[in-house]
Structure 1
Amino acid sequence: MDVTRFDNEISLAEAASDHILQAIQQKPDLLLCAATGNTPTLSYQKLVEKASVFPLDQLRLFKLDEWGGVPMEHSGTCETYLQQYLISPLRISTDRYFSFQSNPADPEQECVKVQKMLEQQGPIDLCILGLGLNGHLAFNEPGEYLQPHCHVAQLTEASLGHSMAQDMEGVKLYGLTLGMSDILAAKEIMLLISGASKVEITKRLLEGKISTQLPASFLWLHPKVKVYVVTNFSNDE
């Protein structure tokens, strides 16, 4: 695990966007798996700014996870986020975008469908992740065991308290997510961490102790993980 510390979110975003763009330049049809949330937003915005002079007509995008039980057009879905910050500005066509539907008739079959997509398109070349307050990655929540592949996740209170879910009251939310094996099969992983609320969980992660109670700790098993962390935390996930 290669840990780089930054003084502020702007410096982190500059470095992260540079690395993503370099990866795309080296492999134009890169399969990028992208997390959502406040932490990666500035990195994506910087990527869009820098990518304007490069052709990205082969870049492929895979959705990491999704809130289940709400319409795709809901303002809080990962779909809405990705459309706003990556798909629309980078002009990623529908044939190069692979996604969970947020309100499928059969959530389990939706996971089967997405797993087949990943098998056909993968492995993921670069996976961008954020760190949950309880140590989750995507919607792989802490527990006695972790799921290896795409699955329907029962969300913890920590996840349900996320800012993206604030306008989803009254909905029985669940998670749709890639599994830990899917994530760890990525050729390279970039974990972005910022936010005052992440200080303690970041300390736990960097201790290097692997536990299903801290899913992000499994990143220690991967040979190529970059962790970009803001040491002067000033915003929440």
Structure 2
Amino acid sequence: MTISDSTFAVGELTVEVHPSEQAAGSAAADFAAATIGAAVRDRGAARVVVATGNSQLAFVHALAGVDIPWDRVTVFHMDEYLGLDADHPASFRRWIRENVGISFSPARVEYIQPDRGDPEAECGRYEALLREAPLDLTCMGVGENGHLAFNEPGAADFADERWARVIELTPESRRQQVNEGHFPDPQSVPPAAISLTIPALLSSRTVQVVVPELRKAPAIARALNGPVDNSCPASILQRHGHARLFLDQQSSSQVAWPATT
């Protein structure tokens, strides 16, 4: 069954299915603009967590066409490899700098900096920044194995007391980075990263999840049709009424949809 241009609920999660990656990205950009605009009107500023990666490019590019008061926005990101220079082509800091910092000139961008010294100390520093005030919006994706940020299947802790920690990447996550063109082979992918935890990501007043492409279809099917457990970290989204999932036809193609919408 194929569903297009539909909005419905799976558990507490709102799901939108759009005809294409570009349409899903545009809808997500409109949603983000409305959310950020409301935060600035209500509280004078907005605090936003932004995911990196190829799957987020249509969304981020669409942000150029919407009205956002970037001069009132502080941006955080979700993860960064240990042992990777900030100017490396695969660095998430570089992605955020080029696609958000330079493109939109937000008031502030807070970077995870594993090269400052002790990674555990950096986790604590970044967590303190995140907890300074409530987060207004998390903009994230879902990994091919169902991870959120780098919270991996079997290891993700839905009740983690920490908001940032060092995480060991699974072989599947390392292979995804190779397949996306960021590294020449799995051995070149750093084995660990600092990542925001799932409670940190879901602490935002609003969470939007943008997941296009056929390669994400198995993870989305498991997240929406399977049980809520950490074998598929993205399944926790079923329990969050303040989250909205934006899919395209390809990423939604393996979901067992309800008979009516």
TM-score (norm 2): 0.82
SS in 2 for 1:66: strand
SS in 1 for 2:194: strand
**Which residue of the partner structure matches residue 118 of structure 2?**
106
TM-score (norm 1): 0.89
Shift of residue 173, structure 1, vs aligned partner:
3.1
Q: Deviations over 1:143-197 (max 9, x none)?
A: 1552442100000011112126415854643111111111121111111111111
Give, in whole Å, the separation in 1 of the partners of 2:181 and 2:134: 28
Structure 1 unaligned blocks of 5 or more: none
Shift of residue 74, structure 1, vs aligned partner:
0.7
Matched, 1:41 2:50: no
Shift of residue 214, structure 1, vs aligned partner:
0.9
* Structure 2 counterparts to residues 41-190 of structure 1, below 5 A: 41-51=57-67, 55-93=69-107, 96-120=108-132, 122-144=133-155, 146=157, 147-149=160-162, 150-161=164-175, 162=177, 163=180, 165-167=182-184, 169-170=187-188, 172-190=190-208
Residues 23 and 30 in structure 1, CA contact (< 8 A), matched pair in contact too? no
**Which residue of the partner structure matches residue 228 of structure 1?**
246
Give, in whole Å, the separation in 2 of the partners of 1:203 and 1:176: 27
Give, in whole Å, the separation in 2 of the partners of 1:210 and 1:14: 29
CA gap of 1:202–1:172, structure 2 versus 1, over 3 A, is closer
Residues 24 and 247 in structure 2, CA contact (< 8 A), matched pair in contact too? yes
Aligned residues: 229
CA gap of 1:144–1:39, structure 2 versus 1, over 3 A, is closer
Shift of residue 56, structure 1, vs aligned partner:
2.1
Structure 2 unaligned blocks of 5 or more: 1-12, 253-261
- Tell me the amino acid that sits aligned with residue 226 of structure 1: R
Residues 32 and 61 in structure 1, CA contact (< 8 A), matched pair in contact too? yes
Give, in whole Å, the separation in 1 of the partners of 2:69 and 2:210: 25
**Which residue of the partner structure matches residue 201 of structure 1?**
219
Shift of residue 49, structure 1, vs aligned partner:
3.0
Residues 205 and 217 in structure 1, CA contact (< 8 A), matched pair in contact too? yes
Give, in whole Å, the separation in 1 of the partners of 2:24 and 2:230: 28
- Tell me the amino acid that sits aligned with residue 183 of structure 2: Q
Give, in whole Å, the separation in 2 of the partners of 1:159 and 1:64: 15
Moved over 6 A (4+): none
Residues 76 and 110 in structure 2, CA contact (< 8 A), matched pair in contact too? yes
Q: Deviations over 1:12-39 (max 9, x none)?
A: 1110111111122212211110011111
Residues 217 and 250 in structure 2, CA contact (< 8 A), matched pair in contact too? no
Give, in whole Å, the separation in 2 of the partners of 1:233 and 1:201: 9
**Which residue of the partner structure matches residue 6 of structure 1?**
18
Residues 210 and 220 in structure 1, CA contact (< 8 A), matched pair in contact too? yes
Q: CA RMSD in A?
A: 1.9
Q: Deviations over 1:97-154 (max 9, x none)?
A: 222114342111110111111111x322110111111110001111155244210000
Give, in whole Å, the separation in 2 of the partners of 1:11 and 1:172: 33
CA gap of 1:26–1:109, structure 2 versus 1, over 3 A, is same
Give, in whole Å, the separation in 1 of the partners of 2:84 and 2:50: 20
User: Which one is further off, 54-63 or 67-76?
Assistant: 54-63
Residues 183 and 189 in structure 2, CA contact (< 8 A), matched pair in contact too? no
Q: Identity of paired residues, percent?
A: 25
